[in-house]
Structure 1
Amino acid sequence: MASNKSIFRTKSLEAMLAQTKGKGLKKVLGAFELTMLGIGAIIGTGIFVLTGVAAADYAGPALMLSFIFCGITCAFVALCYAELAAMIPVAGSAYTFGYVGLGEIWAWIIGWDLILEYVVAVAAVAVGWSGYIVSLLRAGGLNIPDAFCNAPGQKGGIINLPAVLVLFVITALLIKGVSESAKLNNILVVIKLAVVILFIVVGVGHVKPANWNPFFPFGVNGVFKGAAIIFFAYLGFDAVTTAAEEVKNPQRDLPIGIIASLAICTVLYIIVSGILTGMVPYAQFHGNAAPVAYALSSVGIGWGSALVSVGAVCGISSVLLVMTFGATRILFSLSRDGLLPQVFAEVHPKFGTPIKSTILVGIMTMVLSGFVQIGRLAEMTNIGTLAAFIVVSASVMVLRKKRPDVERPFSCPAVPVVPVIGIIFCLYLIYSLPNFTKLVFLIWLAIGFVIYFAYGKAHSTMNFEEQAK
């Protein structure tokens, strides 16, 4: 076991659970809300934006196989998540699991990484939301000047005001309470699921099998490159586990929420990508930020195109809500453990939410979405997700060895085979990502190491726990 001064010191499961007593977050969520949170985060940008980009530039019609490969990879990892989330129902997701399983430095690395991941993802998605809402408003005769719907340096932009405003509203909602946020998310998820199902029903009759030929225009390797790009969409089920501390019956409800949301979303992604590339030749989606609406308008279903745009706004809104929620909970957990200033671990006495973490995440995402062209930085979220998945899979194996005595309400089957396969698949997807993405990841990690050794290691609550013994 690592000494209390070691960067590999682990936090005991008992200590992790003890810190949630009395001053933890309010428990208001059940299995249904968790499943809807997962669907809320997973179905959105993936279907309404990324499908077209991935089909046109990476995979072609074989995008269906990209989603299948992503779904299989996530299935292996989801079983690991389910075991740890039921066993350690504490906010923080992969960060928390890594702290108990692998040690403080690994927990810090993944927690630091996940903060950037969620914040950049939220900012990128908010820019997508802005694009859809501006198009809808202009179609309705309300013209918003380019200066107020683009970042500086882009089409004469000064500020992307719609992106900033939607994030301001979401931040206010998350401060008010998780219960209210979950109710809004449920409504948005129902609307977007209805729109996705409508697209499937209407679009399937317009599929031309000839559009699937050639099936592998970018070769078999394109399937994996496409999978690496669309993996952005699967960040959502990590967000389910960030809510662990706010679940009424985490041992039962967390595994249900994780596995059910993943299964539902993967099936819908595969069907939608198949119909999409069957309706319109894949090359036509190049540079198109609204592929589902474009496919419907291309076959003469104008009303369907407008309806999909409304569904996309609802869909992307729920992604923003859940991913912003996830970022606040990870920041809260890092701060509660002393690795970042503990002021961000304060819980509002009335609302039971981490108010200062929520405000900080809100400000960061508003600044990024309003004033920065996200560009390739959005791809950064993929490598972060994959790194988190690797840490979670490894933690399952380590804890099986170190803590076989702990009750596991849900057990990942076939350990170590399932976690090892999950790790191998994730490593291959990381290998398939662009070099720029890997470079940004390394720079962010270097900044993280400076903060940890300059501040986090000395202020870690682990120091005080050891002194109290």
Structure 2
Amino acid sequence: MKFNLLRKESLSRYLGADKNFVKSMTAFDLVAMGVGAVIGTGIFILPGTVAAKTAGPGVTLSFLFSAIVCALAAMCYAEFSSALPVAGSAYSYGNVVFGEIFGWILGWALILEYMLAVASVSTGWAAYFQSLLEDFGIKIPKALAGPFDPSHGVYINIVAVIIVLLVTAMLSHGMQTSTRVNDVAVVIKIVIIILFLVAGVFFIRKANYHPFLPYHMSGVFRGATTVFFAYLGFDAVSSSAAEVKDPKKNMPMGIIGTLIVATVLYMCVSVVLTGMVHYTKLDVANPVAFALQVVHQDWMAGLISIGALIGMFTMMVTMTYSSSRLVYSIGRDGLLPSFLSKLDKHGTPQIAVWTVGIIIALMGGLVSLDQLTSLVNIGTLLAFTFVSFGIIPLRKRKDIGNRGGFKVPLFPVLPIISGLACLAMICMLSKETYIGAGIWFALGLILYFSYGYRHSKINTDR
């Protein structure tokens, strides 16, 4: 057998393998899924803390500049998902365009991103929910209220485990049921945000906007690098391409639409929040709730908590779904055991869904994730970088047609700018993140060379 790490997958095999998925998702479902992933608790926290520490009222511009950088990557994802309407997102794109070893590295990075993100958010959801229960006089025993730490009498975060398993059970019933629940949850979340905006706008004081740029434009740009990560998650939409009606039209609408809705919401919250309270007072744990208390609108604090819970729930739905489709895709290619790619009679990869759900539940319930969440960023940015630069070899492939589909404008300038911007973001990550990522990728390469390469379904003779 000739040893070839750059052997490439064919689009036709992917389309054939994914044809049993039920194509039920619309552009609205995709936007709801994307907004569900991008708009979480961060919208109630980041605008305030970044305003206080870095950008002042100019935090609104920080969100705008970050959105522009993300828009470049979003357009590249939109073209890929239009040209390659298959499951697996950047993993599958890498296999087709760059070769199997690059696809594997991207897939391994995305597994880390998605699963860590959900596990981390599940612990946040548990903390909010436990706080809500305590308001009603219900207290969860200490032994069941945190990560495994026997020396302090704590054994498992039972609420985090339960919420992840509930999300997994919902996804196991298929995407038609899941998208209906997710769509409703996202609408409720947006309504709560709009209620805050409508209530808050009456308490805006122009004096709070002065000075608008207390840390100058350099502060705005520093703020942009911080809030950039608030947008991560829109890429998860691309993992659903095999289950979308008319993907050439709906995938670009879903990806770009997600970014537009998220940007408008983040910027509006920033404008209202910094108008209600002077930016110097917003360096608190929950700036939105604090601002409402300052203007004596305590009645909305409960709504904000509900909005945060729903925001985290929809994020867990999208990322768990994306994780399962990613694991399905890697199993489909033989790089992980092929039983992970089996679909049930309803077109749902049940084994992949429950495998992912159980692993995430154990991580959220037993492991302290504080030091690991930064690895989410490097996994995402790595995928962004490859997808951005990948547009160039994609356009050269005569066997992949994208007639009538979305194409990145100003080719090849915008894809190159997008890739370079993502590389710049990677360079800003901490040394600890590089060390953690190095260990993770080393484990991934060991698994690939010991199992994946030999079991790959790519025809090495072609």
- Shorter-chain TM-score bucket reads over 0.9
Q: Which moved more, 1:376-385 or 1:180-189?
A: 376-385
Tell me how far 1:236 sits from its aligned partner. 2.2
Question: Which of 204, 207, 217 is residue 207 of structure 1 equivalent to?
Answer: 204
| Runs of 4+ with deviation above 6 angstroms | none
Q: 1:69 to 1:279 in 2, by over 3 A?
A: same
Cα distance in 1 for partners of 2:429, 2:263 equals 21
Tell me how far 1:399 sits from its aligned partner. 1.2
Residues 22 and 243, structure 2, Cα contact 8 Å, conserved in 1 = yes
Matches within 5 A, 1:63-102: 63-102=59-98
Matches within 5 A, 1:84-233: 84-153=80-149, 157-212=154-209, 220-233=217-230
The AA in structure 2 aligned to 1:256 is: M
Give the aligned partner of residue 298 of structure 1. Answer: 294
Q: Which moved more, 1:190-199 or 1:356-365?
A: 356-365
Tell me how far 1:45 sits from its aligned partner. 3.0
Report the secondary structure of 2:372's partner residue. Answer: helix
Identity of aligned residues (%): 44
Question: Which of 249, 258, 261 is residue 258 of structure 2 equivalent to?
Answer: 261
CA root-mean-square deviation: 2.3
Tell me how far 1:452 sits from its aligned partner. 1.2
Residues 52 and 286, structure 1, Cα contact 8 Å, conserved in 2 = yes
Query: CA offsets per residue over residues 83-121 of structure 1, 9 Å max, x none?
Result: 110111101111111111111111111110000100000
Query: CA offsets per residue over residues 316-344 of structure 1, 9 Å max, x none?
Result: 11111111101111111111111111121
Q: 1:457 to 1:177 in 2, by over 3 A?
A: same
Q: Which moved more, 1:62-71 or 1:416-425?
A: 62-71
Report the secondary structure of 1:303's partner residue. Answer: helix
TM-score (norm 2): 0.93
Matches within 5 A, 1:20-31: 20-21=18-19, 24-31=20-27
Q: 1:454 to 1:57 in 2, by over 3 A?
A: farther
Residues 385 and 419, structure 2, Cα contact 8 Å, conserved in 1 = yes
Cα distance in 2 for partners of 1:217, 1:143 equals 44
Tell me how far 1:41 sits from its aligned partner. 1.0
Matched, 1:440 2:436: yes
The AA in structure 2 aligned to 1:390 is: T
Give the aligned partner of residue 43 of structure 1. Answer: 39
Q: 1:216 to 1:407 in 2, by over 3 A?
A: same
Structure 2: any 5+ residue segments left out of the alignment?
Answer: none
Residues 59 and 216, structure 1, Cα contact 8 Å, conserved in 2 = yes
Matches within 5 A, 1:209-358: 209-212=206-209, 220-282=217-279, 284-286=281-283, 288=285, 290-348=286-344, 350-358=345-353
The AA in structure 2 aligned to 1:356 is: I
Tell me how far 1:66 sits from its aligned partner. 2.5
The AA in structure 1 aligned to 2:98 is: L
Query: CA offsets per residue over residues 423-456 of structure 1, 9 Å max, x none?
Result: 1221222222222222222221121111111111
Matches within 5 A, 1:387-402: 387-402=382-397
Tell me how far 1:161 sits from its aligned partner. 1.6
Aligned positions, number: 460
Q: 1:405 to 1:87 in 2, by over 3 A?
A: closer
Cα distance in 2 for partners of 1:75, 1:236 equals 13
Report the secondary structure of 1:375's partner residue. Answer: coil
Matches within 5 A, 1:417-436: 417-436=413-432
Tell me how far 1:64 sits from its aligned partner. 2.1
Q: Which moved more, 1:424-433 or 1:109-118?
A: 424-433
Residues 175 and 351, structure 1, Cα contact 8 Å, conserved in 2 = no
The AA in structure 2 aligned to 1:39 is: V
Give the aligned partner of residue 373 of structure 1. Answer: 368
Cα distance in 1 for partners of 2:315, 2:284 equals 22
The AA in structure 1 aligned to 2:346 is: F
Q: Which moved more, 1:379-388 or 1:89-98?
A: 379-388
Query: CA offsets per residue over residues 9-65 of structure 1, 9 Å max, x none?
Result: 2212223223223xx322111111111111111111321344445445554444323
Give the aligned partner of residue 403 of structure 1. Answer: 398
The AA in structure 1 aligned to 2:442 is: A
Q: Which moved more, 1:99-108 or 1:407-416?
A: 407-416
The AA in structure 1 aligned to 2:138 is: L
The AA in structure 2 aligned to 1:449 is: L
TM-score (norm 1): 0.91
Report the secondary structure of 2:160's partner residue. Answer: helix
Q: 1:18 to 1:32 in 2, by over 3 A?
A: same
Q: 1:160 to 1:88 in 2, by over 3 A?
A: same
Tell me how far 1:163 sits from its aligned partner. 1.2
Cα distance in 1 for partners of 2:210, 2:231 equals 28
Give the aligned partner of residue 17 of structure 1. Answer: 15
Tell me how far 1:170 sits from its aligned partner. 0.4
The AA in structure 1 aligned to 2:36 is: G
Tell me how far 1:390 sits from its aligned partner. 0.9
Tell me how far 1:141 sits from its aligned partner. 2.9
Q: 1:103 to 1:225 in 2, by over 3 A?
A: farther
